[in-house]
C-alpha cells in the first residue's frame, strides 16, 4: 500500500480550479501535478458551477494523488436554509437568522457520511455547533 503524506480538503467553486490560490500553494508544496488536479476537478464538477464543491485529496509520498468530491460545506447549507448571505461577524452577540429543527436534521442527514459522526444525533450536534458559530439559531 502506498504511504500517505497528507490529506487536504479544498473548498472551492465547482468548475473553477486553477493554479492561483488556494489550489496552487496548497498542492504545489506537496509536489503533485497541479494542472492534472485542476483539469479533473473542473471536468467532474462542471455540472455544479455556482456551488462550493469540496475535494478531498489524498497525497502519497510518491507525489501521486487521488481525490473524491464531498457534500457542500455545512455553513453553505446552513446559509441557504436560513436564507442569509453570510454568517454573523459576532456570533456571540449578533444572530443573523434561524432554521427549524427539521431543517437541521435534513442537513445532518446529508452531511452524515462526510462528518465521521457515528450517529445522526452526533451529526446533528456538530451541525448545531457550526450554526451557533455563525449566529444562526435553531428554532422548534
Partner 1 sequence: MDWWLEVSVPVENEAAEAVADVLSRYAYRGVVIEAGPEGWNAGPVVVKAYLPADDQLRANKRRIEEALWHLGQIRPVSAPTFRSVAEADWAKAWKERLNVLHVGRHIVIRPSWRDYTPTPGDIVIRLDPGMAFGTGLHPTTQMCLVALEEMIYPGAEVLDMGTGSGILAIAAAKLGAGQVLAVDNDPIAVGTARGNVMINGVQETVSVVRGSLAEVSGSYDLVVVNILSKVIVEMMGEGLATRVRPDGVLIAAGILADQGAEVVTAMERRGLALVEQRQRGDWVCLVAKQGYFSG
Q: Are strands 52-60 and 4-13 parallel, antiparallel or unpaired?
A: antiparallel
Query: What part of residues 84-113 is at the interface with partner 1 (CB under 8 A)?
Result: 86-93
Does 126 interact with partner 1 (rule: CB under 8 A)? yes
- Per CB under 8 A, does 66 bind partner 1? no
CB of 86 vs partner 1, minimal distance in Å: 6
35-64 CB burial, b ≥16 within 10 A, e <16:
eebbeebeebbeeeeeebbbbebebbeeee
Least distance from partner 1 to the Cβ atom of residue 100, Å: 20
Query: Of residues 67, 75, 81, 104, which one binds partner 1 by CB under 8 A?
Result: 75
* Widest pairwise Cα distance in the chain: 51
Question: In the complex, which residues of this chain contact partner 1 (CB under 8 A)?
Answer: 3-13, 15-16, 18-22, 24-26, 28-29, 31, 33-36, 38-40, 42-44, 46-47, 49, 52, 73-75, 86-93, 116, 126, 129-130, 132-134
Amino acid at each position: 500500500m502506498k504511504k500517505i503524506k497528507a490529506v487536504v480538503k479544498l473548498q472551492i467553486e465547482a468548475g473553477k480550479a486553477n493554479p492561483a490560490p488556494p489550489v496552487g500553494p496548497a498542492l504545489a508544496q506537496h509536489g503533485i501535478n497541479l494542472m492534472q488536479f485542476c483539469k479533473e476537478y473542473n471536468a467532474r464538477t462542471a455540472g455544479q458551477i455556482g456551488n462550493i464543491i469540496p475535494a478531498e485529496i489524498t497525497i502519497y509520498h510518491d507525489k501521486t494523488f487521488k481525490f473524491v468530491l464531498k457534500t457542500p460545506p455545512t455553513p453553505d447549507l446552513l446559509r441557504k436554509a436560513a436564507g442569509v448571505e453570510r454568517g454573523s461577524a459576532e456570533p456571540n452577540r449578533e444572530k443573523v437568522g434561524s432554521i427549524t429543527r427539521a431543517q437541521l436534521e435534513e442537513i445532518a442527514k446529508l452531511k452524515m457520511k462526510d462528518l465521521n459522526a457515528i450517529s445522526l444525533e452526533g451529526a446533528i450536534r456538530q451541525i448545531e455547533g457550526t450554526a451557533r458559530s455563525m449566529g444562526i439559531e435553531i428554532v422548534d
